[in-house]
Copies of this chain bind each other. A is one copy, B any other.
Amino acid sequence: MGISPLFDLESSDADRLRVDEALMASVKTPDAYLTEIASHLLLAGGKRLRPMFSVVASQVAGGPTTEEAIQGGISCELVHLGSLYHDDVMDESPTRRGVETVNAKWGNLQAILAGDFLLARASEIAASLGTEVAALLARTIGRLCEGQIEELRHTYNVARPLESYLSSISGKTASLYSTAARIGGLVSKFDRGLVNALTAYGEAFGMVFQIVDDVLDLSATDAQLGKPSGHDMVEGVYTLPVLFTLANGGVPASELADVLGKPLNVAERDKALSIVRSNGGIEAAIELAEMYVEAAEEACQDLPNTAATVALRFAPNALLASVR
């Protein structure tokens, strides 16, 4: 999604390497079988966005990257990885990041247990950073679950309120970015004002991230996505562009509501995609994302004027550019 400029800092390659090494070390166990399963998705790549958020957040006052910032960052990445293991079981996904999923390769039992194991390792690392970080990470794992449950209870609901969507993505996505940035500030012992500005920034960035992801799922072609377009909609997860189209009323809304509310075949999906794309749903979603970009920029006003802050300010704009 073209967000590599976020890390276009002098130190970022070295930091990224430290993050990867710390991640590999964190999933080592005396049991070779468990280690193999727990490191499977890690080894398949990934952008390490969340740990790099912690690292860049820890640099906004101009200081060097500390081991605490690396550890705090990887605790967030391990939460992300653990939740992906569980997501892939729930969605019965065969592949992720170009490799077989853990559930496909070893089975659901292994994927559930290894996901739990990754969450436990994340909590162990957070505990090594003090009670505030430990409590924050635990609360964040809870929020991820709350956000996913909120989504789940509204699947196939064409009357899903906008508030349900926003609170769901705040919990399932934005909370972990917010926490990654906050941990970067906490372990750097920044004053509360700075820590809270980083937290607000992370939350706003996370909202942009998820809205952009949801827009792409509906606006991009199958070929661009590398997977079937409109996947969420087919599965009954109605995201921002769909909800805006439904809320706008008129013929497009009632035609869309007629198609949705159940699993879709390819023809129905194509019809629904066409209605959403040609009635301003995409544009309205991008407009709301712009408001979160502005909120992120506003939070950056409270950060010192450093290269790290410039990188943070740039990031949500770069994200949004990918759907414009």
Q: How many residues of A contact B (CB 8 A)?
A: 42
Given known A-B contacts A124-B139, A128-B135, A142-B121, A113 and B152 have beta carbons under 8 A apart:
yes
Residues of the B chain whose Cβ atoms lie less than 8 Å from the Cβ of A124: 135, 138-139, 142
Copies of this chain = 2
CB-CB < 8 A to A109: which residues of B? 90, 152
Q: Among residues 150 to 207 in chain A, which have CB atoms less than 8 Å away from a CB atom of chain B?
A: 150, 152-153
Question: Which residues of B sit under 8 angstroms from A134, Cβ to Cβ?
Answer: 123, 126-127, 131, 134-135
CB neighbours of A145 from chain B (8 A): 34, 113-114, 116-117, 120
A139 / chain B contacts, CB cutoff of 8 Å: 120, 124
Does A146 sit at the interface, judged by CB under 8 A?
A: yes
A114-B152 Cα distance, complex, nearest whole Å: 12
Given the known inter-chain contacts A123-B123, A128-B135, A131-B134, please indicate yes or no for A110 contacting B149, CB distance below 8 A. Answer: yes
Q: Which one of B90, B110, B131 contacts A127 once the chains associate, using CB atoms below 8 Å?
A: B131
Taking A29-B146, A120-B141 as known contacts, 5 extra A-B pairs with beta carbons closer than 8 A to each other, sorted by chain A number, are: A31-B150, A114-B149, A117-B145, A126-B134, A127-B135
